[in-house]
């Protein structure tokens, strides 16, 4: 049995950040990671099949985020500002996304007046059910499911109101060599300060008493510590009888398990397509739109895979598709080949290009089905009506022994981001060190 001061379950951004903060103070830290590489929902690849860096998971820095940017500076990691044009495509017609959605002002005004929380689906049904609001309902649903990967039948209107009111068109960035470079830096810092990271070490059971925990892995390994930090996705803590990657607690954490069940866990499938040329710049598209699309950043549609983006301003022939929310949940059990066919069909319809042309230009593809991925089973969290109270429960340590961290536990305006995970990991480390 390996003994340590603090055991951390999960080597994602939150777990590694907590490990760094604790190891720097001389605490002996051991991190157990179920997968064969650190990073959690961050996974950067560089392959001869793809031209350059490809992000299978987290990709963007959403604004001038203090902790993320400070870490990048500390590590000497470079990043660049994104740009490009946003287009919405409907029935083959391209319009700039900046064009306002009809009735959006009325929607936000009514949302601001709401005094009792309800799901965003129920809100639309209650206040905007008329036929004149068909496009508004579709746009709101698509945004909630796409950007927040939320199920609109569970997502909190209050939470989405707060988030959408905070939208300030802050600059967006990409890390030049991918988020994986930041993960490698954090992992190296843990090790340099005496900590250990065990990969391919899935925990199946945690036995605990006050200031005493024992974690047992699937292969029979045992690790003991005075305190433990749980940073795995909450989906792994919402088990059913058929799932082998769940973690059990003995004694059971009744209140915490009930809180976890009340929180929303998003679904997402990310589709990476490398072409021999930038097909979105095809001359036929230029003739229809009057725009050469050389500055295309994002485009949105109502197809099965509705959202796509380029690597602009970096020159690249990589196109990324994004499918979130209930549709991604419904498709999670499809094969990669089936998902690829749906994606290519969506792209052909959106761009009004022949499917044969798209397939001819396709060099390689990768389907990142995070909702079906073992030890992940989802995207990031979104707020339900009950999430705020549930988060308070999970933010409180159990007998000063069991702590939870991760983007789902974070309290702030950057929910669902790497920044949120990093901030949560840092905060829980501070709480252990200083009791605050």
pLDDT digits (tens, 9 = 90+) for 250-265: 999 999 999 999 999 9
The pLDDT, as a whole number, for residue 1 is: 85
Q: What is the pLDDT averaged over residues 393-418?
A: 93
In the structure encoding, which two tokens stand for residue 33, read together?
Answer: 């990671």
In the structure encoding, which two tokens stand for residue 121, read together?
Answer: 């689906």
CATH architecture of the region 2-42+178-263+386-434: 3-Layer(bba) Sandwich (3.50)
What is d(CA 87, CA 296) in angstroms, rounded to the nearest whole number?
A: 8
pLDDT surpassing 80 at residue 239: no
> Contact, 234 vs 263, CB < 8 A?
yes
pLDDT surpassing 90 at residue 242: no
Which is more confident, 193 or 96?
193
Please, what sign has the CA dihedral across residues 160, 162, 167, 171? negative
Share the mean pLDDT of the chain. 92
pLDDT surpassing 60 at residue 99: no
* Low-confidence winner among 4-8, 36-40, 120-124, 298-302 (lowest mean pLDDT): 298-302
What is d(CA 230, CA 8) in angstroms, rounded to the nearest whole number?
A: 6
The pLDDT, as a whole number, for residue 98 is: 59
Per-residue pLDDT tens digits for 114-136: 999 999 999 999 999 999 999 89
The DSSP code for 110 is H
> Contact, 200 vs 375, CB < 8 A?
no
The pLDDT, as a whole number, for residue 167 is: 60
Which is more confident, 12 or 161?
12
Distance of CA 407 to the CA centre of its chain: 9
- Cα–Cα distances (Å) from 341 to 5, 140, 186, 346, in that order, read 50, 27, 38, 9
Please, what sign has the CA dihedral across residues 374, 199, 223, 432? negative
> Contact, 412 vs 222, CB < 8 A?
no
What percent of the chain is predicted at pLDDT more than 70?
A: 97
pLDDT band for 47, please (50, 70, 90 cuts): confident
What is d(CA 384, CA 368) in angstroms, rounded to the nearest whole number?
A: 25
Per-residue pLDDT tens digits for 348-385: 999 989 999 999 999 999 999 999 999 999 999 999 99
Distance of CA 35 to the CA centre of its chain: 17
Which is more confident, 399 or 239?
399
pLDDT band for 344, please (50, 70, 90 cuts): very high
CATH 3.90.660.10: which residues of the chain? 83-170+268-369
Per-residue pLDDT tens digits for 132-176: 999 899 889 988 998 889 999 999 999 998 887 766 568 899 999
Residue of 434, 436, 433 whose CA lies nearest to 19? 433
Q: What is the pLDDT averaged over residues 226-247?
A: 83
Residue of 4, 8, 1 whose CA lies nearest to 228? 8
Residue 297 CB coordination number (10 Å) = 17
The DSSP code for 203 is E
The pLDDT, as a whole number, for residue 243 is: 62
pLDDT band for 320, please (50, 70, 90 cuts): very high
What percent of the chain is predicted at pLDDT more than 90?
A: 79
The pLDDT, as a whole number, for residue 176 is: 96
Helix (H) or strand (E) segment spanning residue 175: strand 172-175
pLDDT band for 195, please (50, 70, 90 cuts): very high
Q: Which residues contact 354 (CB under 8 A, 6 or more apart)?
A: 348
Helix (H) or strand (E) segment spanning residue 205: strand 203-209
CATH 3.50.50.60: which residues of the chain? 2-42+178-263+386-434
- Cα–Cα distances (Å) from 369 to 59, 244, 321, in that order, read 15, 18, 12
Which is more confident, 74 or 284?
74
The pLDDT, as a whole number, for residue 48 is: 81
Q: What is the CATH number of domain 83-170+268-369?
A: 3.90.660.10
């Amino acid at each position: 049995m390996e003994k340590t001061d603090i055991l951390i379950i999960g080597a994602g951004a939150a777990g590694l950040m907590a490990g760094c903060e604790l190891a720097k103070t001389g605490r002996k830290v051991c991190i157990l990671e179920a997968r064969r590489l650190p990073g959690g929902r961050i996974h950067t690849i560089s392959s001869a099949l793809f031209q350059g860096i490809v992000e299978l998971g987290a990709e963007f820095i959403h604004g001038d985020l203090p902790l993320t940017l400070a870490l990048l500076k500390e590590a000497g990691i470079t990043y660049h500002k994104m740009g490009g044009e946003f287009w919405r495509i409907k029935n083959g017609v391209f319009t700039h996304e900046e064009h306002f959605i009809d009735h959006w002002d009325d929607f936000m005004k009514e949302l601001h007046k709401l005094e009792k929380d309800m799901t965003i689906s129920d809100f639309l049904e209650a206040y905007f059910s008329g036929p004149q609001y068909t496009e508004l309902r579709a746009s709101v649903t698509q945004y909630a499911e796409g950007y927040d990967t939320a199920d609109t039948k569970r997502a909190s209107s209050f939470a989405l109101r707060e988030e959408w009111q905070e939208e300030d068109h802050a600059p967006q960035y990409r890390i030049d060599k991918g988020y994986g470079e930041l993960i490698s830096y954090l992992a190296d810092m843990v090790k340099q300060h005496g900590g250990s990271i065990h990969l391919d070490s899935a925990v199946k059971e945690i036995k605990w008493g006050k200031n005493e925990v024992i974690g047992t892995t699937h292969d029979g390994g045992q690790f003991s510590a005075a305190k433990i930090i749980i940073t795995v996705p909450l989906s792994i803590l919402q088990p059913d009888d058929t799932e082998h990657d769940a973690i059990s607690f003995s004694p059971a954490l009744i209140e915490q398990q009930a809180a976890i069940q009340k929180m929303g866990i998003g679904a997402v499938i990310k589709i990476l397509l490398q072409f021999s040329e930038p097909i979105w710049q095809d001359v036929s598209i230029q003739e229809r739109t009057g725009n050469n699309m050389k500055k295309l950043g994002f485009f949105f549609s109502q197809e099965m895979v509705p959202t796509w983006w380029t690597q602009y301003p970096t020159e690249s022939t990589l196109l990324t598709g994004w499918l979130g929310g209930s549709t991604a949940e419904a498709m999670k059990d499809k094969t990669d080949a089936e998902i690829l066919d749906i994606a290519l069909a969506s792209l052909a319809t959106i761009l009004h290009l022949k499917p044969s042309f798209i397939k001819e230009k396709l060099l390689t593809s990768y389907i990142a089905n995070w909702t079906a991925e073992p030890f992940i089973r989802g995207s990031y969290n979104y707020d339900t009506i009950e999430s705020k109270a549930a988060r308070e429960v999970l933010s409180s340590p159990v007998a000063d022994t069991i702590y939870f961290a991760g983007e789902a536990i974070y309290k702030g305006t950057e929910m669902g981001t790497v920044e949120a995970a990093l901030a949560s990991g840092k905060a829980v480390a501070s709480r252990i060190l200083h009791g605050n």
